[in-house]
Structure 1
Amino acid sequence: MRILVADDDPVVREVVRRYLERDGLTVVETADGPATAKVLADNDIDLAILDVMMPPPDGVELCRTVRAGPHPDTPIILLTALGEEDDRIIGLRAGADDYVTKPFSPRELALRVASVLRRAHPAPGGEDEVLRGGAVELRRASRTVQIDGAPVDLTAREFDLLAFLLAHQQRVFSRQELLAQVWGWTFGDLSTVTVHIKRLRAKLGDAHRIDTVWGRGYAWGRTDSDDAE
C-alpha cells in the first residue's frame, strides 16, 4: 500500500518513512501544499498523513478538498502541534480520520496508520453482515452505507462509529466508552467523538437516529432522549 507523508520538516518525513517501510508500506513524500495536492488528485495512495502547519494549502485545507472531491473516503491522519486543541477540532471537522500530536512517537503513528488501513481496507471474504436502523443500511464487509438505496460516503472512522451504534441500538455510550470501543484509545481528546457524531448526523441527515442522552452520552434510537443540535 502507498502512504503519503506530507510535512515541511525533512527529519519528520525521514523518520516516518523508515517506520512505515518497516511495515512493508510504500511511502511517497511531499514538503508543501501544492505538491501534496497533486499527489492527492492523482488518487494513487491508500492513506495520507498531512501536517497541519505545512506551507499552504495546509493539511486542514487539503483534507477539506479531499472530502469534497471525487474520492472522499481516502483515509487521512493529521499531524498537529502539541496542545493546539483548536487545530485538532478543526481538523476533525474537516474530515480527518485520526490525528497525532507533535512531538510524537513514530511507532505510535505507524500503529495508527495500520489501524486506519485495517478499517478502510478489510480483508476480503466472509459474509457481508447487514445492520439496519430505520432507512439506514450498513454492510460491514463491503463497508458501504445506504439511505433508502442511495449511497452515503463516510470516512473510515465515521463508518466504524455508525456500525458500532447500529450494532448496539438503544444502548447509551459515553464519549469515553465510544473512544475506547471505536477508536481503541484508552485516553484521548473527547471532542474527537463529539466532532465525529456531528459529522455523522450531518451526512445521514433526517435518517439519523443518533440521540444525545444528556449527562450520559449517545445512543442510536433512544426514544427517551433529547436530540442535540
Structure 2
Amino acid sequence: MTAAAQWAQGGEDALEAFPVNITGVLIGYARVSTKGQNLDRQIAALTDCGCAKIFSDKKSGKNAEREELWKALDYARPGDTLVVPSLDRLGRSIQDLIAIVAGLRKRGIGFRSLHESLDTTTPGGRLVFHVFAALAEFIRELIVQGTHEGLVAARARGERLGRPPAMTVEQVRHARAMLADPEASVTSIAKLLGVSRTTIYKYVPELAAGRDSLAAGARGEIDQ
C-alpha cells in the first residue's frame, strides 16, 4: 500500500487529529550528522517544550542504522507524541518521513516538528502531512513514468540498455590473439587489457578447453 493510500485509509476521519486522546508523554528525538557537532541546542528545545524523555543520534540522516531513533519509536506508546526539532532531523527524504509518521499514526502516536510548527495532534498538522503524502506519491509516479518513457525512447533509437560490456569486441579479439601465445599468461593479458582474469574467462569461453584450442583457432583465422 502506498503512503498516500495509508493516509487516506480511514475515510471521513482522514484529516482528524491523532491520537484522538493525547494521554501519554512527549518523547523527543534529536540528531546531528557527525560526532563533532553539538546536540545541546536541539536537546534544549525539546526539553523546553516538555519532553519527558529524549533520544539522540550522531549520524547522517542517510544512515539507516539510527539506533536511538528506533529506540524512541519502540519506547513510544499509544497516546504519546514524538517531537523533533525539525523535519530533517527525522527523515532522510520526504518518503522516509511520511513512512515514519504513517507508522506512528497506525500505533495511535502523534508527531510534532518544532521548527515547522507541524503537529499531527491538530487537524491543521494532519492536513499538511496528508498533502505531503499525496505529493510524494505524485512525484514517485512521475519518476516511474519518466523512466519508462526514457527506456522506450532509447530502445526506439536502438541504444543498448543496461550495464556496458566489460570487454569490447576489439578487446576480445586481441585477447584471443595473445592467448594463442603459450608464453603469455592470462594474468598479464588481463592487466594489459585492464580487466580481471575472471572477465577474460567469461568473454573467451574456449579458454576453458585449453590454450591449444585457442592456438588452433588463431592459426585458422590467419590461414583465412
Higher fraction of strand: 1
Normalised TM-score (structure 2) = 0.31
Larger radius of gyration: 2
Greater relative contact order (Cα < 8 A, sep 6+) = 2
Normalised TM-score (structure 1) = 0.30
Higher fraction of helix: 2
